Amino acid sequence: MSEPKIILYKSKTYSDGSHPIMIQIIEKGKAVRKVVSRCMEKDWVDKKARVSPRNIEAPRINNLIEIALREFGIVKDQDFFDFIDVLINQYKTNNQYGRLKSYEALILQLKEFDSRLTFNSLDARKTYDFIAFLRDVKKNGPTTVREKVMVLKRITRAAKKAKHIIENPLEDFSIKKVPTYKAKLTTQQLLDFINLPLTGKQAEARDAFMTSFYLRGARIGDVLTLEAGNIKGDRLVFTEKKTGKLHNVAISTELWQILERWMEKSRSKFIFSFMDDDPDYFKFMYNIRRANAKVYGLLKRACKGMDIEKTISAHIARHSFSKLANLTFTNTSITKDLVGHSTLAAHEQYINEISDDELMDGYAQQVFDKLKS
């Protein structure tokens, strides 16, 4: 009996245009075949005798092939990187930009670490070696290292769920969460920043930062993609890109001044000039990242020589609003709702009662008034 061979049997075609995937052996000079699954010819990779990761069903079908081969005592390492490619293609299809970028970044570093990595060779010891590589070679900080290990764990969980592997090699692997310090500006630092004599792009970057603040710590990516159409009377209505949550916020006097200033000067669909529009979702999301970086650089240059130079970033507006809100109110349920964070289970009912937009507008205005006192 010859060694089993996996083939796409093109002599037979199903009604949907696919062909059977068969395991074939030669017994007494005669070909004996058994159907394992099916796929389209365009999805079949002859060299590997496997389904291409472009096919969303690839993990399941390739796993069936492995099971069929095991019946003949043939065990082959599962293709680790091909499986990640399948996940990446799924995230592209679902427009999950954040997941896509984190997986793409991880796969590059995994290949640099060990280009021959397989599910069979991945274990706790290998993961600790990868952590050392990220820390010592790539100079990643503790938080970044943990985030990448968590992505790796998600990959192994997905592989087991898709029956691509039988056992999850990282099922019991854990990595300690490192406490992080979120930089914030004090009331005086915010006032000093507002009163800086800035012009041009630096002034616009500061106004984008303060718009984030006046929108209760809205993420800078949401600020930079604001359009005149988001203004509904005396309110600003926008959808948070990260969570899909709809925000409906009263426009304070200070925010009106900023919006009017840059709407008059804008030559694009956006109120601020840092964003380039693109109909392609992923290019658009990339443009947001690039605009964020541009604003960050301008803020750093604007604050050169000040005591906030090292800490200033677009995201600090969110932390600064939270800090000032906490100074304004002793009720943490209010401040949690103001900045849109999740709440303590014990206070859920109470927070539901106070999460009315107009009530929150009043609380937010009290925070803004701190800059006038």
143-173: per-residue pLDDT in tens? 899 999 999 999 999 988 877 777 788 988 9
More confident residue, 359 or 208: 208
Q: With CA atoms as reference, report the closest residue to 85 among 110, 65, 67, 68.
A: 110
Q: Tens digit of pLDDT for each residue in 295-315?
A: 989 988 888 877 665 567 666
Last residue of a domain, one of 106, 126, 161: 161
For the chain, how many structural domains are there in total? 3
* Separation CA 197–CA 314 (nearest Å): 19
Instruction: For residue 88, give the CATH number of its domain.
Output: 1.10.150.130
Residue 46, domain member (yes or no): yes
Last residue of a domain, one of 127, 161, 195: 161
Does residue 207 sit in the same domain as residue 347?
Answer: yes
Residues 252-285: b if buried by 16+ CB within 10 A, e if exposed = bebbeebbeebeeeeeeebbbbbbeeeeeeeebb
Residue 177, domain member (yes or no): no
Residue 172, domain member (yes or no): no
Does residue 47 sit in the same domain as residue 113?
Answer: no
Other Cβ atoms less than 10 A from the Cβ of 79: the count is: 20
**Which residue in the block uniquely carries the two structure tokens 């290949």?**
111
> Quick one: which H or E segment has residue 292?
helix 281-302
Residue 168, domain member (yes or no): no
Does residue 289 sit in the same domain as residue 358?
Answer: yes
Does residue 64 sit in the same domain as residue 85?
Answer: no
Residue 318: the pLDDT is: 63
Span of 48-62, 196-210, 299-313 with lowest mean pLDDT: 299-313
Q: Tens digit of pLDDT for each residue in 136-146?
A: 999 999 989 99
Does residue 66 sit in the same domain as residue 85?
Answer: no
Residue 56: the pLDDT is: 83
More confident residue, 59 or 275: 275
Last residue of a domain, one of 161, 179, 207: 161
Confidence check: pLDDT of 330 > 80: no
Does residue 64 sit in the same domain as residue 84?
Answer: no
Does residue 43 sit in the same domain as residue 107?
Answer: no
Residue 259: the pLDDT is: 95
Instruction: For residue 318, give the CATH number of its domain.
Output: 1.10.443.10
pTM, rounded to two decimals = 0.59
Residue 127, domain member (yes or no): yes
Q: Tens digit of pLDDT for each residue in 235-270?
A: 999 998 887 889 899 999 999 999 999 998 888 899
Does residue 119 sit in the same domain as residue 213?
Answer: no
Domain that holds residue 85: 80-161
Does residue 340 sit in the same domain as residue 206?
Answer: yes
Does residue 249 sit in the same domain as residue 311?
Answer: yes
Does residue 20 sit in the same domain as residue 127?
Answer: no
Does residue 108 sit in the same domain as residue 204?
Answer: no
More confident residue, 241 or 327: 241
Residue 226, domain member (yes or no): yes
